[in-house]
């Protein structure tokens, strides 16, 4: 299995990260620049979807991607980003995976009632705006979150569960073609997933340094998982974006 981890395009929160007077949006949407990033990403995948030489060593995707499944969190910025690629490819299944959400989940960002849990977008929002997205059967108008703020103790176990379920769903099978999976997700969750893959203690590096894996908006990272090996082929590639669209 090949896993392609894609961070969403620039959100309104990302764009205002240095603005002291800005109050973060609880479910931030893409900026115009973020939409442009997602469009470039979609064009890039569309132009390289076909595997042009199935027998060649394709560790840098020089012979194409061949995506077989796209998953997204149910945060608006991730679904919107993913939809551009899904629509450009035309025939790749697009499925919600709520558990690949950003750390904390859905919660109030304003100082009053800060960290109070929120419901998240209702089912009808996605059915209207992203009809190609396959949603969980139990998901209804009450929203997809409806829980308290996700505290730190819950975050790593969630990433561990996602990794286990990913392998169960799409791990290599005898006499079956290799699956090439895209996650459209979030920077904080990416670091948790890396920690799960490598069994790293959360942010505890050598010499009391705290590690982090920064991702640019709409960057691509690739992990190959076989029955007995994990190979990190690359992290945070952005060559599909022009310089003025590279943001953090």
Q: Would you list the domain boundaries of the chain?
A: 2-245
What integer is the mean pLDDT of 147-161? Answer: 98
Which pLDDT band holds residue 147 (cuts at 50, 70, 90)?
very high
Which pLDDT band holds residue 106 (cuts at 50, 70, 90)?
very high
CA 54 to chain centre: 26
Given this model, what pLDDT does residue 23 score? Answer: 93
Statement: residue 174 has pLDDT above 90: no
Mean pLDDT of the chain: 97
DSSP state of 168: H
State percent of the chain over pLDDT 70: 100
Q: Are 184 and 72 in contact (CB under 8 A)?
A: yes
The structure tokens listed for 176 are 């079956």
Given this model, what pLDDT does residue 175 score? Answer: 80
The structure tokens listed for 78 are 């991730």
**C-alpha angle 243-222-241 in degrees, rounded to nearest 5:** 15
Statement: residue 104 has pLDDT above 90: yes
Q: Are 20 and 196 in contact (CB under 8 A)?
A: no
What integer is the mean pLDDT of 215-230? Answer: 96
Which CATH entry fits the domain spanning 2-245: 1.10.287.3510, 3.40.50.1240, 3.40.190.10, 3.30.70.1230? Answer: 3.40.50.1240
What's the pLDDT tens digit per position in 44-98?
999 999 999 999 999 999 999 999 999 999 999 999 999 999 999 999 999 999 9
Among residues 210, 243, 213, 242, the alpha carbon closest in space to that of 7 is found at: 213
Residues in the chain, total: 248
Please list, residue by residue across 53-78, b when 16 or more beta carbons sit within 10 angstroms of its beta carbon and e when fewer do.
eeeeebeebebbbbbbebbbbbbbbb
Statement: residue 167 has pLDDT above 90: yes
Given this model, what pLDDT does residue 176 score? Answer: 84
């Amino acid at each position: 299995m090949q896993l392609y981890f894609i961070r969403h395009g620039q959100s309104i929160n990302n764009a205002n990260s240095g603005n002291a007077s800005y109050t973060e949006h609880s479910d931030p949407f893409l900026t115009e620049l973020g939409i442009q990033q997602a469009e470039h990403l979609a064009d890039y995948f569309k132009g390289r979807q076909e595997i042009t030489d199935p027998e060649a060593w394709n560790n840098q995707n020089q012979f194409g991607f061949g995506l077989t499944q796209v998953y997204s969190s149910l945060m608006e910025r991730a679904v919107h980003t993913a939809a551009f690629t899904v629509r450009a490819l035309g025939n790749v299944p697009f499925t919600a995976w709520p558990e690949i959400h950003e750390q904390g989940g859905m919660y109030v960002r304003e100082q009053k009632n800060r960290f109070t849990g929120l419901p998240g977008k209702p089912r009808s929002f996605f059915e209207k705006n992203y009809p190609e997205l396959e949603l969980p059967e139990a998901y209804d108008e009450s929203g997809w979150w409806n829980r308290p703020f996700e505290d730190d103790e819950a975050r790593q176990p969630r990433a561990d569960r996602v990794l286990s379920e990913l392998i169960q769903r799409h791990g290599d099978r005898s006499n079956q073609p290799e699956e090439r999976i895209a996650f459209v997700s979030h920077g904080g969750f990416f670091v948790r997933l890396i920690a799960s893959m490598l069994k790293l203690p959360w942010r505890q590096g050598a010499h009391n340094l705290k590690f982090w894996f920064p991702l640019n908006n709409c960057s691509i990272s690739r992990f190959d998982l076989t029955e007995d090996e994990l190979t990190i082929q690359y992290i945070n590639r952005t060559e599909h974006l022009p310089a003025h669209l590279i943001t953090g």
